[in-house]
Structure formats: structure tokens, C-alpha cells
Structure 1
Amino acid sequence: MTDKALILARGLGTRMRKDDGSVTLSEAEARAAATGVKAMIPIDRPFLDYVLSALADAGYRQICLVVAPDHEALRRYYEEESPPQRLSIRFAVQESPRGTADAVAAGETFANGDDVLVVNSDNYYPLDALRELRQRSGSAVALFEQDAMLQESNIAPERIEAFAVGLVDEAGNLVRILEKPDEKTLGELPRPLWLSMNCWRFSPAIFEACRKIQPSPRGEYEITDAVQYCIDRLGVPFQAVRVCRPVLDMTSRADIPAIKERLKGVQVRL
């Protein structure tokens, strides 16, 4: 088992910063949204508190937030205003937004040769997925049933239907992540579809892969490319943990009311 989790919190929050006249936000919510730091959107308390509390409930104790150079608000909150009791929190700086693999690479010193969970700061993952990944050995990925996402997540169906799909072999190992599959390809895949929501357990091999891959066509170092390098070039199997529970996603201002409703009554203990 591992008790280390790396949280990718550097995102620019471009969609969150955009005004949305269809949503009425409180002054505090609008102020936080304007910064683009989705992790600090107040759902009574910062959204990231819920993410961290779920990790603590799942047994993780050492946390590293991958952040931008300008991250004083996050550091001040967790070091001075609301220091956790169940978790230790460190910070790793990703100097420029060069992609998810580059963000993971920033956490290599924190991992220090151990397996590590990697998740997004703007996703609230089900406890079952976090616990299962912690209890596995070696590399693994949580894949989420599309039907459960459509029925129970806050994410719009048209977005869910465009998510990457995990292809799994008969042994239960990931073959590859199929990004933005077209309608014909989706129609040929067996049901149910299992979606990738960037919820991983990585062995130290991931850091070698992050160094070896080339930028994608959009000029970023992608974690899916690093995973494929591990599978194809390093011979690292990725166990597929299939989860029939939804993930909540904090992407834009329109997500705030729905997430507030779904997290109502959820106890937060850091």
C-alpha cells in the first residue's frame, strides 16, 4: 500500500475565469472563480478540502500539491489558516504549464522511489476508487463506468460522451487510453464504456517515462503518452480498477451550484 498522493493543482482555470450569466454566484464564489484556482472555490469551504478529506478517509497521509510559482494563497491556507491534522502537505512547483506529464514529473522528489497516487485538484473522486488504488501494488488506473457518470455526475452528457475511454485486455490490464474517440469507434467498443478521469497509481517508472516522451501535437507533455510509454517500452502493466460510481468535476462556474448540492452534508476532516 502507499500513503502518498500527488495532486495536480497548477491548471490555469481558463473556463472557470469566464463569466457565465446563467449562474448566480455569491461574492466569495465569484472572487474565487475570477482567480481561476478551482481548488479554492468555496463550497462552504474550499473545494480542495473535500478532495483532501476523501484522500485521508481512504488512508493517504502524505500529500504533495503540484502548483504554479504564484501559489501563495494555497500555501497560506494550508500552512497557516487551516493546517490539516490527518495529512502532511508539501508543495512542488511546475514552473510553466507544459502538460500533465510535466506536472507529474515535478513530484518525483516527493515520491522518492515509492508508488504514488495521482489525481486532479478539480475532481472529487469516489472513496471506493481511492481506497482500491491505495491497496493495489504496482501501477493501476481507475476507470469510471460511463452510465454511472451520465446518471450521477454533475458533468453535462455531451462532455461525458467525449471523454477518453480506457481499453482493457482479458487479464484486466489497461491496453491504452483512447482520447477523443469518434462516434464510429465508440460504436464498435464493447459496453459498458470505462472512462479515464486522471486517477492513477504510479510506480517510479512513470518518472522515467515522463522524461522520455515527446510533446504532443498541442505542444504539451501528456500523462497518457507517459503511461503508454510505460506499457509499450518499459513493460509496466497497469491494472484497471473499474468503478461504477461518478466523479464530480469543477471546471466552470456552472459547475459550482451542482457540486454544492451534491456535497451538502459531506463531512470534511483534514
Structure 2
Amino acid sequence: MSFQAPHKAVILARGLGSRMRKEAEGVALSDEQTKAADAGVKAMISVGRPFLDHVISALADAGFTDICLVIGPEHDLIRDYYDTVEKSRVTISYAIQEVPLGTANAVLSAEEFAGDDRVLVINSDNYYPAEALDLLKDVPGSALVGFTREGMLTRSNIAADRLAAFALATADAEGNLDELVEKPDEATAARLGADAVISMNCWLCTPAIFAAAKAIPPSARGEYEITDAVRQAIADGDPYRVVRADVGVLDMSNRGDIASVVDALGDSEVVL
């Protein structure tokens, strides 16, 4: 192998947690879970241990040992916990995104952490199985892990109707990212075909992502989006390999997700 397998991961944990803050009828939470949910800190929802512990443990299982948490200046709950928790497999540092200006802007906060290395960029409210992350060891450049619809339907906690609104990606003849369509309608999904994979924002990026993130304009929502930065990086000559993973991703977006995540991960061994 003429390239180094990636070992750095950036976890985007700056979100406001607006959906998690909302009360959900009929959802019973522990006092500890309620405290984290009320604060909108999805990463710290208790799943036996904080949800983010499970995310980081899976990263370590796949060889990602240098972790950077992108957080806000107010996120003392996260920083205080990871400053003191026992760690034998990973090192954890922080990058501060002062204002939540979007995912591409959050990635820019971690530019110093990345240095000249490739970095994995993932959400803090998703659990990506190590078997999916492990597929990136053999990729020499940038990549998107795309999850099959069958894998997501059978091995995630996301219902089919919600899943239909997730971004779809296709690859060209060389296996590189061709189309990435967010919130596809039925006609678009049919056009993209059965081989299209679902993007869960699991990106392996070369340092080219930082120049791309600085070059893009804000989206219609007024935010700087990582999908736009990836498109810019591709246009600038940095192709993204589409890596197919026939597994599921767990989602921790709102209070209704908590019980299913506990069922899936509550008894899992966590080693940071």
C-alpha cells in the first residue's frame, strides 16, 4: 500500500439540536436523557454511555485514533466529559465553531487539526458501524461512504418514509461520485436507479476540502454546506470515490429515536 490509511476523524457536534429539544408525546426518558435532550446535546444522550462514546468506539475499531470534536463555545458538557473520561485507544481534541454557519464552515474549524492528512468527517448524531468505516482503509484519496437502501431498511432505525427524503448518490464508470441529490422526489429517485446509495454524511476528505469550503457561497438556507464544498472540490480536480456499504446507520435526531438506539447499542462494549 503506497498510501497511509486514514487515522483522523472530525465529528461535527456543533448543531443546535432543535429537533431533540422538542417534546415528543408518549416518549419516556430517564432524568439523564431528559437533561441532555433539553440542552439539545444529542451526542451526550445516555445509551448506557453517552451516544458519542459509541460513535468514537466504532471509529477506534476501524483505526481512527485521532479525533477532533467540532463544538460551540458553550458546549462545556462535551468538553468536560471528554477531558476526564478514560481513553486508551484515542486522543480527543476540540475545534470551536463560534457561530453555527453550516457543515462546511464547521469543517473549516478543523483545518489545523487535519494538517496535511486526510480526515473522515461525520455527524455526531449518527452511529456508523466500524465495518462501514473499515472500507475506507483501501481508498487512496477522497471518498463518500454510500449506504445501500436494503442495508438501511434492515439495519438502521430510520423508517422507510423518512429514508426516502435522504440524499442519493450515484457513481460514474470509474466509481467516482457523479450525482448527489438531496431530498429527491420519487421521479428523481427512479431516474437515479436501484444502484443509487444513500448519503449519511460520511466523507473522507483530502486537505483540498478546506480550499473548497472557503470558495463556496452560502446555500439557499444561508449556510455553508459540506455537500457544496465536496462538489467544489470535485470541480477543482479532487474526485470522490463512492464506497458502497451494505449496512445501516443509526440516527439520533429526536427523542423518538432514543429507545431504538438504546435497543441497538445499549449492551455494546465501548472502549475509547
TM-score, shorter chain, exceeding 0.5:
yes
Tell me if the contact between 1:231 and 1:237 (Cα under 8 Å) persists in the aligned partners: yes
SS of residue matched to 1:180: coil
SS of residue matched to 1:254: helix
Indicate the residue corresponding to 1:146 in structure 2. 149
2:34 to 27, 30, 35: 30
SS of residue matched to 2:16: coil
Residues 63-94 of structure 1, C-alpha deviations (whole Å, 9 max, x = no match): 000001112111111112x1311111000000
Question: By how many angstroms is 1:55 displaced?
Answer: 0.6
**Aligned-residue CA RMSD (Å):** 1.0
Unaligned runs of 5+ in 1: none
Question: By how many angstroms is 1:155 displaced?
Answer: 1.1
Larger deviation, residues 113-122 vs 175-184: 175-184
What is the 5 A alignment of 1:120-131? Answer: 120-131=123-134
Indicate the residue corresponding to 2:185 in structure 1. 182
Alignment identity in percent?
51
Indicate the residue corresponding to 1:107 in structure 2. 110
The one-letter code sitting in structure 2 at the alignment partner of 1:84 is: K
C-alpha distance in 2 between matches for 1:251 and 1:49:
16
C-alpha distance in 1 between matches for 2:175 and 2:129:
21
C-alpha distance in 2 between matches for 1:14 and 1:41:
14
What is the 5 A alignment of 1:1-270? Answer: 1-80=5-84, 82-232=85-235, 234-270=236-272
Number of matched pairs: 268
| Runs of 4+ in structure 1 over 4 Å off | none
Tell me if the contact between 1:66 and 1:107 (Cα under 8 Å) persists in the aligned partners: yes
Tell me if the contact between 2:170 and 2:195 (Cα under 8 Å) persists in the aligned partners: no
Residues 118-151 of structure 1, C-alpha deviations (whole Å, 9 max, x = no match): 1111110021221112442110110000122122
Question: By how many angstroms is 1:158 displaced?
Answer: 1.2
Residues 172-213 of structure 1, C-alpha deviations (whole Å, 9 max, x = no match): 110131111111111222214300000010000000000000
C-alpha distance in 2 between matches for 1:220 and 1:244:
31
What is the TM-score of this pair, normalised by structure 2?
Answer: 0.96
The one-letter code sitting in structure 2 at the alignment partner of 1:236 is: D
Tell me if the contact between 1:174 and 1:239 (Cα under 8 Å) persists in the aligned partners: yes
Question: By how many angstroms is 1:264 displaced?
Answer: 3.2
Unaligned runs of 5+ in 2: none
Flag the 1:187–1:104 CA change in 2: closer, same or farther, 3 A: same
